[in-house]
């Protein structure tokens, strides 16, 4: 195959790929997928409200599969003001039937009160976050939900699929890249494990601070964020240079172009400076935070291995 054929083939591969990638980026930026889901949700909300308002009789069987964009809890919350209460459910084939009975005298908890109660009892994880199942409170308008969250002493950090990440007002959470040691680690749960509590007590005596203490974990997150911000600039520059250097180097070798070879060598040489800086940052971070992160990893593993024994 000639060079001209190769160039033509490259164009035919590159242009459609670039067009598809650009189209996906534009669609994502404009929120086409989100708008479609929102339209489906609004349509199903309207249909369910119409069903509630128009139905007569003591029993209402609702096929949840006709309202798939709505959570079950949202359906029950929407039905509650009309006097409907869940009496049972049955799943079979393509249908999921929720049997509602008309019992307006049966008390039902307001979703706002339920949210406030959950947040009052909530404990953040070691990463400073509490994941709230937002589907349980979809019937609350967003502004009202946010007001309840704020009044309970929490703030929204960012969204997760099907959840909201919250943090107590005044605390620090992990930014950029989360620390894996802190993910899924719940201090309150670990403290209830006597084996873990004893190990944490020994660490406290040896190092002078409680590894599961709220203020100590907050400081850990603050310092981890600090070192992460220090690491990213040199780390990204080094990664870019080292990742790009082989291209001009090997192209120069194959095409007998010394200039391209020198460019590749120069890029690799320049990458040494940010690489050393990134390594020094990692080393200083490990010196400062290493013992705390190491014991958290140990406590997490210890809890997993002894949870059954302590319960």
Does the model's pTM come out above 0.75? no
DSSP notation for 196-262: HHHHHHHHHHHHSS-TT-HHHHHHHHHHHHHHHHHHHHHHHHHHHHHHHTHHHHHHHHHHT-HHHHH
Distance CA 221, CA 212 (A): 12
- List pLDDT tens digits, range 188-207: 888 899 999 999 999 999 99
Task: Give the residue with greater pLDDT, 235 vs 17.
Answer: 235
- List pLDDT tens digits, range 264-294: 899 999 999 999 999 999 999 999 999 999 9
Distance CA 62, CA 97 (A): 5
pLDDT at residue number 8? 45
Percent of the chain with pLDDT strictly greater than 70: 83
- Give the chain's mean pLDDT: 84
pLDDT at residue number 9? 39
Distances (CA, A) of 44 to 6, 36, 194, 254: 53, 12, 49, 62
């Amino acid at each position: 195959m000639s060079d001209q054929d190769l160039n033509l083939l490259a164009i035919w591969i590159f242009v459609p790929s670039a067009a598809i990638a650009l189209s996906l980026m534009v669609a994502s930026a404009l929120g086409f997928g989100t708008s479609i889901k929102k339209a489906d949700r609004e349509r199903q909300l309207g249909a369910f409200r119409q069903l509630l308002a128009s139905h007569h009789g003591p029993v209402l069987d609702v096929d949840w599969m006709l309202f798939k964009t709505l959570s079950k809890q949202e359906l029950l919350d929407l039905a509650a003001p009309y006097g409907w209460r869940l009496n049972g459910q049955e799943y079979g084939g393509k249908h999921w039937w929720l049997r509602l009975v008309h019992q307006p005298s049966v008390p039902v908890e307001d979703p706002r009160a339920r949210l406030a109660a959950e947040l009052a009892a909530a404990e953040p994880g070691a990463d400073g976050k509490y994941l709230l199942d937002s589907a349980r409170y979809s019937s609350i308008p967003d502004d009202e939900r946010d007001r309840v969250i704020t009044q309970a002493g929490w703030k929204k950090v960012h969204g997760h699929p099907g959840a909201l990440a919250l943090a107590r007002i005044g605390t620090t959470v992990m930014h950029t890249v989360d620390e894996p040691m802190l993910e899924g680690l719940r201090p309150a749960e670990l403290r209830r494990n006597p084996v873990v509590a004893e190990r944490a007590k020994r660490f406290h005596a040896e190092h002078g601070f409680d590894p599961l203490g709220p203020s100590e974990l907050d400081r850990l997150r603050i310092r981890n964020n600090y070192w992460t911000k220090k690491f990213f600039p040199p780390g990204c520059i080094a990664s870019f240079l080292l990742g790009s250097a082989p291209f001009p180097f090997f192209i120069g070798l194959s095409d007998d172009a010394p200039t391209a070879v020198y460019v590749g060598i120069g890029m690799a040489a320049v990458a040494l400076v940010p690489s050393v800086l990134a390594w020094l940052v990692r080393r200083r971070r490990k010196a400062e935070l290493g013992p705390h992160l190491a014991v958290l990893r140990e406590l997490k593993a210890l809890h997993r291995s002894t949870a059954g024994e302590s319960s």
